[in-house]
Amino acid sequence: MIHVEKLSKQFQDGGAYAVRDVSFHVDKGQIACLIGSSGCGKTTTLRMINRLLEPSSGSISINGVEYQSSDPIAWRRGMGYVVQSVGLMPHMTIRQNIEILSRAMGRERSERRKRSRKLMDMVGLPPDGFSDRYPDELSGGQQQRVGIARALMEDPPVLLMDEPFGALDPIIRSSMHEELIQLNRQLQKTILMVTHDMSEAFKLGNLIAIMDQGSIVQQGTPRQLIDQPVNEFVANFCRGAALDLP
């Protein structure tokens, strides 16, 4: 469960708000999607939840644990984070990148291998062909899938994903969607995902929050957004994608 209340961020005192009074709640088993134009504060929101950035004000709790009262390292280990830029270590192989946290946590080598191979299969990168290659020998979409496998390695209850499928072609993207839906059905994660694709948000999201200039303009289920948009901005976001709803 992720609970965020009146979360704000100003990078400079008295400056513009990158994020302003953002509140939402994601329950276990849910996928929430943040969507909005470039620069509206999506990544900043995720970075605050992951504690890479200190909020200017507001509160965050994860599975009932308050941000203020918890240890930052334990907090971060409780969640997988797929960063927007992928951020693989260039001097490490694909396998080492995926296992990086597991290794730091002292997991046994054979256990690590088994898990990383399984995840590589899951994201469509056969381990026999990819384990020993380096990130710059992979395409952008393949690197993105390594980033997803890395975030899942320790099987965290909470997943933060910043445009995880942005560089994938439609077929792989669609199969990753199915994987995510299955994974969530079986393992009941709490997932917060950033996307710029409303069809993707409608397909995956139980909750969708539409952001503009640091604030949430409207949040709700796909149905609520389509049937009761609060303004033209939201209606425009939904228009092109509404047809994809079942």
- Where along the sequence are the contacts to ligand ATP (CB under 6 A)? 11, 18, 38-44, 84
In Å, how far are 27, 144, 145, 159, 244 from 62, measured between CA atoms?
A: 10, 26, 26, 11, 32
Instruction: Please report how close the Cβ of residue 147 comes to ligand ATP at its closest, in angstroms.
Output: 15
**39 interface partner picked from Mg ion, ligand ATP, none, CB below 5 to 8 A per type:** ligand ATP
Which one-letter DSSP state was computed for residue 120? H
**18 interface partner picked from Mg ion, ligand ATP, none, CB below 5 to 8 A per type:** ligand ATP
Longest CA pairwise span in the chain (Å) = 55
CA 45/CA 65 separation, integer angstroms: 18
CA 157/CA 168 separation, integer angstroms: 25
Of 66, 8, 63, 31, the C-alpha closest to 161 is 31
**40 interface partner picked from ligand ATP, Mg ion, none, CB below 5 to 8 A per type:** ligand ATP
Is the CB of 37 or the CB of 57 nearer to Mg ion? 37
Instruction: Please report how close the Cβ of residue 11 comes to ligand ATP at its closest, in angstroms.
Output: 4
Instruction: Please report how close the Cβ of residue 226 comes to ligand ATP at its closest, in angstroms.
Output: 23
**140 interface partner picked from Mg ion, ligand ATP, none, CB below 5 to 8 A per type:** none
Is the CB of 30 or the CB of 44 nearer to ligand ATP? 44
Is the CB of 58 or the CB of 164 nearer to Mg ion? 164
Instruction: Please report how close the Cβ of residue 213 comes to Mg ion at its closest, in angstroms.
Output: 14
Tell me if residue 164 falls in helix, strand or coil. coil
User: What are the DSSP E strand ranges found in the chain?
Assistant: 2-10, 17-26, 31-36, 57-62, 65-66, 79-82, 158-162, 190-195, 207-212, 215-220
Instruction: Rule CB under 5 A: choose which of 43, 45, 50, 102 binds Mg ion.
Output: 43
Binding site for Mg ion (CB under 5 A): 43, 84
